[in-house]
Structure 1
Amino acid sequence: MNQSNNQLWQCYQNARFLFTQPLSCEVSFAIITAHNPKGEILSACQNRLLDRQLQHEIEQLRQPYRAMVGTSVDHSHMEKSWAVSTTKDSALHLGRMFNQNAIYYVEHDKLQLVPCLLSPLHHKEQLIGHFSSRVSLVNELPDYL
């Protein structure tokens, strides 16, 4: 099993989320990014291009969505992401389309980490806690993403 994939999986389990507005605990949604495919760090310009492509795909779903940021606990790593009101299968399709190792899925405030490209033999879908305990409300999302 790839050691760097294990380290990424651990980081994913500790993610925090920045929103500009609260979300209802009754809403089910996915959190998807296009940044840094396969865990490889890209330039800001490359990530912005992928993000625009992902937003276009999300718009085709014709479901509510909202921009947000996924971040490490210490905020040293941040990725522009999208909260999308969609099924887990649809979210996994988007995650795979944009070469993401994993997505998050939230149901009734339960945060699930769901592998996309990572091997299901080594990285199984797992419940990682309450979504609401990982959310911070901010006036503006960071603009350097």
Structure 2
Amino acid sequence: MENVIDMLWQDYQKTEFLLTQPLSNDFSFAIVTAHNPLGSVLTPSQNRLRDRALQSKILEYRSPYRCLIGAAPDLSHMEKSWAIFIDKDQALELGREFGQHAIYYVNQGLLSLIACFEPHRDEVPMGLFHQRLKLVSDLPEL
């Protein structure tokens, strides 16, 4: 099982983000998804139900948020995600609640990957968030 997680961990580090508008570097935010918990591939309808539950939870924070898509560089895999203006601890708690191996966190424009369940994994710096950002006019339907 560790090999599968290691492979996923490598894939997570290649993720790019599709947004309809840029986000400011002035604020820290988390990027969290509810899709495909713990690496299991769910149906689109199962993922939509999980996403609605995540959005309801996000509303409880009473913080700004934006929809975005986390995607493989070739767009062969995409997951609806949310940029949420919450702190790192809240983001990790949210990631764990929705069964995610990891979350992304952006602080002063710098993107990092953080494990939700494996404290021995170091936070992985991934460079400038805007370099992984692709602005699109509309987000794809998933």
TM-score, structure 1 as length reference: 0.95
Q: 1:93-132 residue pairs with structure 2 within 5 A?
A: 93-117=93-117, 119-121=118-120, 123-132=121-130
3-state SS of paired residue (2:31): strand
Instruction: Trace 1:1-145 onto structure 2 (pairs within 5 A).
Output: 2-117=2-117, 119-121=118-120, 123-143=121-141, 145=142
Cα drift, residue 128 of structure 1: 1.2
Letter in 2 for 1:14: K
Where 1:5 maps in the other structure, the secondary structure is helix
Deviation (angstroms), 1:120: 2.5
Q: Any idea what the Cα deviations from partners look like across 1:6-42, whole Å, max 9, x if unmatched?
A: 0000000110000001111112100000000001110
Overall identity of the aligned pairs, in %: 52
Paired AA for residue 127 in structure 2: G
Runs of 4+ in structure 1 deviating by more than 3 angstroms, as ranges, are none
Count of matched residue pairs: 142
CA distance in 2, matches of 1:136, 1:77: 15
CA distance in 2, matches of 1:88, 1:30: 7
Taking the aligned partners of 1:73 and 1:27, their CA distance within structure 2 comes to 25
Structure 2: runs of 5+ lacking an equivalent: none
Unmatched 5+ stretches in structure 1 = none
SS in 2 for 1:63: coil
Relative to the length of structure 2, the TM-score reads 0.97
Give the secondary-structure state (helix, strand or coil) at the position aligned to 2:99.
coil
Task: Please report the RMSD computed on the Cα atoms of aligned residues, expressed in angstroms.
Answer: 0.9
In structure 1, distance between residues paired with 2:54 and 2:17? 18
Aligned partners of 1:111, 1:47: CA distance in 2, in Å? 25
SS at match of 1:80: strand
Per-residue Cα deviation, 1:74-116 (whole angstroms, up to 9, x for no partner): 1100000000000000000100000000000001110010000
